[in-house]
Every structure is written in structure tokens, then in C-alpha cells.
Amino acid sequence: MQHELILILDFGSQYTQLIARRVREAGVYCEIHPFHLPVDEIVAKRPMGVILSGGPSSVTEAGAPRVAEDFYRKIKAPILGICYGMQLAAADLGGASEPAER
């Protein structure tokens, strides 16, 4: 049986389980996977959306966790980045993030 799926890629956030719970409370099936899940496996699952979780790293750090190089090209579903996940998407797609003025 095929069901609608939201796929959460975990970058080490302390809130990943909470994100999954909120998605499930909205009546949508979701799965949590490590950020390095191969893109072809993600595509094969046919998610209706992908969430990039937050995490303790900075996108500017050497060795910071990243999605595969072809991730944004191959994933045809909407992508929601939360905290680190949004900063990662911005950096990978040519944008930048910086602290807001106080």
C-alpha cells in the first residue's frame, strides 16, 4: 500500500522527533532518516515533501554535514529547511545566511 510520506532528513537536531510527532499529529505518515540517505533511495520512496532538520553544525564549518550534490536536482517534492536545514539549502543553492541586526 502506497501512502503519502513526509521524509525527514536528520542533521542531529534535538527536535527531530518533535518535528516528526507534529507531522504525524497532522495525520501524515513520516519517516526519519540520516542526512546521508542516498538520493536514489529518497526518490524511490516518492515523498510528498522532505524536511531538512536543524543540527548543531554551522554550514561554514569544514566537514559540516551536507546532502548529496545532486539532491536538489533529483528531489521533485517541496523541501522545507528548519534552522541548519534552511541555512544548508541557502548555501548549497548559492545564497547566504547571516545574523540579523539587533
Q: Is residue 99 part of a domain?
A: no
Q: Is residue 36 part of a domain?
A: yes
Quote the pTM value: 0.92
Q: Is residue 102 part of a domain?
A: no
CA distances to 6, 48, 50 from 22, rounded to whole Å, are 11, 16, 14
Q: Is residue 96 part of a domain?
A: no
Number of domains in the chain: 1
Q: Is residue 64 part of a domain?
A: no
Q: What is the mean pLDDT of residues 61-74?
A: 94
Separation CA 50–CA 100 (nearest Å): 27
What residue numbers bound the domain in which 13 lies?
A: 5-59+75-91
Q: Is residue 30 part of a domain?
A: yes
CATH of the domain at 45: 3.40.50.880
pLDDT tens for 19-34 read 999 999 999 999 999 9
DSSP assignment string, 31-66: EEEETT--HHHHHHH--SEEEE---S--TTSTT---
